[in-house]
Chain A
Amino acid sequence: MTAHVLNDTGVMLDRSLKHVTRSLDTIITVTIMPIAFLLLFRYVFGGAIQTGTDNYTNYLMPGVLLIAIASGISYTGFRLFNDMQGGIFERFNSMPIARSSVLWGHVLTSLVSNAISVLVIIGVGLIIGFRTSAGVLAWLAVTGILVIFTLALTWLAIVAGLSASTPDGASAFSYPLIFLPFISSAFVPTETMPGPVRAFAENQPVTSIVNSIRALWAEQPVGHEIWIALAWCVGILIIAYLFAMAAYRRKIA
């Protein structure tokens, strides 16, 4: 059965990746907005923001990547929704294949396409002054956090894709996620925010994730923040996965 799961998931991944590479506009849309934010904060707002660091590009890089991932996963919900609208979802589910592969194909595709946009944005970051001397281990840790973050949000997108009744609904859930980094330590230090806003900013997942990635790139000790970041990501991942499976079972009766 394991061999089936791998074979079937491979076929599904291949299919869904073709969808991504044949609609390059989705990758462009996903990368262009974060790049616009990157330039906007670097060249427009950046000069007025006091972060206590000498390289503001380094400061805002992690938050921009999270925005990119949050907007990237909305396409996963959209693609899954489209599958269900056409008959292909039913065709797959009436075939002797590992049923989990239908969803995993979309999840792995989300990982690949988000990896592409993250790399593009890091490339742009390097051009406008992003610098790090982080070693292999730190990079591995950053990659790990981003992968778990992507997985968590992707399963959330799967829930949305399975339960939505319109294509807009399948992707609109990501708007608040895209907005979350703005009320965090991603662009400005939380110390400048008024009490309740600051309390929210410091206790929502983005701040701990951003601070951890920033510390890893700056070769600073990450402290307990990375555990909070991981706890958030893994927690969201598990809950979203369970909800997605419940929604999937409801769909396939």
Chain B
Amino acid sequence: MPTRAPAIEVAGLEKSYKDLKVLKGVDLTVDRGSVFALLGSNGAGKTTIVRILATLLKPDAGTATVNEFDVVSQAAHVRESISLTGQFAAVDEILSGRENLVMIAKLRRVPDPGDVADDLLKRFDLADAGGRRVGTYSGGMRRRLDIAMSLIGDPPVIFLDEPTTGLDPEARLEVWEEIRKLAGGGTTVLLTTQYLDEAEKLADRIAILHQGTIIVTGTLAELRQLLPPAQAELVERQPTLEEIFLAIVGKEKR
């Protein structure tokens, strides 16, 4: 990259569905190579922002650029720069996992689609299931395949819209690990989530979207400073139910 301009820049973004104003002037900046978490409850407008950035929806007002391309006037360039993993696994149930990957590789015109597919199957621990119809996959496998499909062609910016919603704790950890690897490789990740711990564990910066505007944005440390300093209290630390579950199931990964 010749420049270090932000990977995503959004200013004054507004969007309404009929009378319902979903976005009321959203501003945000995502640095290149960072993981940015957009936090908000259901219906806060997270998906609307992602859909506008992914050129699936046109904003009513405001501007948004991805990889320095305008999402409205340079939509084709934006689509060259991104990959979207939506809320519902965007996989073809009737094709096999490998066929899904080959299909996307051909559409992105990468050389050797078959090799690309096999590499990704191995990397996402799907090599054994690669020949099976996706309809037979578990939720976690589908999600991993979904993310694997998004990586084909190495787009510089990846949108993950609630990537772990509906997954069991093990599958969640697997997805988290992949997101960390992505960020390690220099990809910019915009992540939406309603889980606070997910943002805490993965994101370099966090923005909280509430009632159509970003009410606060910063690193986790900066957000912590918004509250009075923590007081030291002696509390016996009980294991969380998640830790117990993972310990019993035997897949503790931390």
Chain A residues within CB distance 8 Å of chain B: 7-8, 11, 14-15, 18-19, 22-23, 86-88, 90-97, 252-253
User: A88 contacts B79, CB within 8 Å?
Assistant: no
Give A97 to B56 CA distance when docked, in angstroms: 13
* Number of B residues, CB within 8 Å of A: 32
* A87 close to B56 (CB less than 8 A): no
CB of B54 within 8 Å of the partner chain? yes
- Contact present for B79 and A18 (CB under 8 Å): no
Contact A95 B95 (CB under 8 A): no
Least Cβ distance of B8 to chain A in Å?
A: 14
Verify A97–B107 contact, CB threshold 8 A: yes
Query: Contact at B92–A88, with CB atoms within 8 Å?
Result: yes
Given contacts A253-B56, A253-B58, contact A87 B88 (CB under 8 A): yes
By a CB distance below 8 angstroms, the chain A residues around B99 are 18
Residue of B nearest to A22 (CB): B94
Q: How many A-B residue pairs have CB under 8 A?
A: 67
Choose from B57, B76, B86, B109 the contact partner of A91 (Cβ within 8 Å).
Answer: B86
* B84 with A94: CB separation less than 8 A: yes
Specify which chain B residues have a CB less than 8 angstroms from the CB of A23 in the assembled complex: 94
B84 near A91 with CB under 8 A, answer yes
Contact with A along B55-90 (1 / 0, CB 8 A): 111100000000000000000100110111011111
Shortest C-beta distance, B151 to chain A (Å), equals: 13
Binding site for A on B (CB under 8 A): 51, 54-58, 76, 79-80, 82-84, 86-95, 99, 103-104, 106-109, 133, 146, 149
Q: B54 contacts which of A11, A15, A94 (Cβ < 8 Å)? A: A94
Instruction: Please state if B79 and A86 are interface contacts (CB–CB under 8 Å).
Output: no
Asked if B103 contacts A15 (CB within 8 A), the reply is: yes
Query: Which of B54, B80, B90, B95 counts the most chain A CB atoms within 10 A?
Result: B90
* A87–B93 CA distance with the chains assembled, in angstroms: 11
CA distance A9 to B206 in the complex (A): 40
